[in-house]
Amino acid sequence: MKTTHQINTIFLALLCLTASLLVSNPVQAAKWDANMTPAEVEATLDKKFAEGKYSTKGADTCLMCHKRSEKVMAIFKGAHGSIDSSKSPMAGLQCEACHGPLGSHNRGGKEPMITFGPTSTLAADKQNSVCMSCHLDDERVAWDSSHHANADVACASCHSVHAEHDPILSKQTEVEVCTSCHTRQKADMNKRSSHPMKWNQMTCSDCHNAHGSMSDADLVQPTVNETCYSCHAEKRGPKLWEHAPVTENCVNCHNPHGSVNDAMLKTRAPQLCQQCHASDNHTSNAYLGNTDMGSTVNGNAFTGGRSCLNCHSQVHGSNHPSGKLLQR
């Protein structure tokens, strides 16, 4: 009997602890999530759209319950909540323009509406179809083949609609939003040699179109080199004497997001150069080119100063008549 009493005491203690946790940390999921599977939610929403039972009072009906939420009311501070713009959802079906027909949702709140973001029951492509119904333009024409679409990223994962200013649209906060997912690039841009992204002097959208493009890595220009040349015009050819890996692709040698090596090089010279130039005696023998056979610090032309670039300084190409070896 004593053992049974102890078990009952422990059970009651756990029950009280669970209840207190639920009160202090209420579940944020929608009410219908507990009773409906994602497939059932989607099927119900499709049926509601087919029936088209929109509210006769628009946003006024929604705000009877949701006006106490600061996040909901913040939409009236931004472009999507503007009642003066004909392009704003508030000028048409208001809240239901994005969240779907009200139906009988306000009678208990158990009938699903379209929700957005990481906690949404709906798949990303279903969420995005709502956004793209208005935002399908030249900048987003390649969205379906973009890296974000292929990774099932929802528009609401990056964009904040219920806000006065969308952080992803500001140069001061854009990089912060992007690097919340792209953590490897965040680590690279904080290395000793990098583009000035951590100071917001450059942003991700200077090089990439997050909504997709016809180029690799969703670049804004047709090729990697064309993207780089938009800032580094002095490296653009054609040159009288060209360096093959340079004309092929800048990222053969550079990591555009940052590196521990000077000039964002993937590997420091001479190892970088020897990845291609390793077959002849000149580039494979570290004693060649010495000033004093390495008897003093930096006495080796391969390890002193700029290594291979001590002699071959014009690695991006030369226009000098005698620049065949990229030395002038």
Question: Which letter, b or e, does each residue of 191-205 get, where b requires 16 or more Cβ atoms within 10 Å of its Cβ?
Answer: eeebbebbeeebbbb
- pLDDT class of 1 with cuts at 50, 70, 90: very low
Q: How confident is the model at residue 274 (pLDDT cuts 50, 70, 90)?
A: confident
Q: Encode 76-114 in three state secondary structure.
A: HHCHHHCCCCCCCHHHCCCCHHHHCCCCCCCCCCCCCCC
pLDDT of residue 80: 92
Give me the pLDDT at residue 292, please.
Answer: 56
Q: Please check whether residue 251 is in contact with residue 224, taking contact to mean a CB–CB distance below 8 angstroms.
A: yes
Examine residue 300 and state whether it is found in any structural domain, yes or no. Answer: no
pLDDT of 293 = 47
Residue 181 lies in a domain: no
Domain presence at residue 140: yes
Q: How confident is the model over 215-226, as a mean pLDDT?
A: 94
In a domain, 289, yes or no: no
pLDDT of residue 279: 74
Q: What is the pLDDT of residue 322?
A: 93
Where residue 259 falls among pLDDT bands split at 50, 70, 90? Answer: very high
- 224 pLDDT band, cuts 50/70/90, is very high
* Domain around 86: 35-163
Q: Is residue 79 part of a domain?
A: yes
Question: What mean pLDDT is predicted for residues 124-131?
Answer: 92
Q: For 296-306, write each residue's pLDDT tens digit.
A: 655 666 666 77
Cis peptide before 245 (omega within 30 of 0): no
pLDDT digits (tens, 9 = 90+) for 128-159: 999 999 998 888 989 999 999 999 999 999 99
Percentage of the chain lying above the pLDDT 90 cut:
58
Could you tell me the CA-to-CA distances from 99 to 12, 130, 190, 280 in Å, in that order?
42, 8, 40, 67
Beta strand segments in the chain, E: none
Distance CA 44, CA 55 (A): 17
Higher pLDDT, residue 290 or 122: 122
Q: How confident is the model at residue 195 (pLDDT cuts 50, 70, 90)?
A: very high
Task: Please check whether residue 68 lies inside any domain of the structure.
Answer: yes
**Number of C-alpha atoms within 13 angstroms, CB side, residue 45?**
22
The separation between CA 147 and the C-alpha centre of its own chain, rounded to angstroms, equals: 10
Radius of gyration of the chain (CA): 30
User: Is residue 104 included in any domain, yes or no?
Assistant: yes
In a domain, 200, yes or no: no
Domain count, the chain: 1
d(CA 128, CA 271): 46
pTM score over 0.85: no
pLDDT at 22 over 70: no
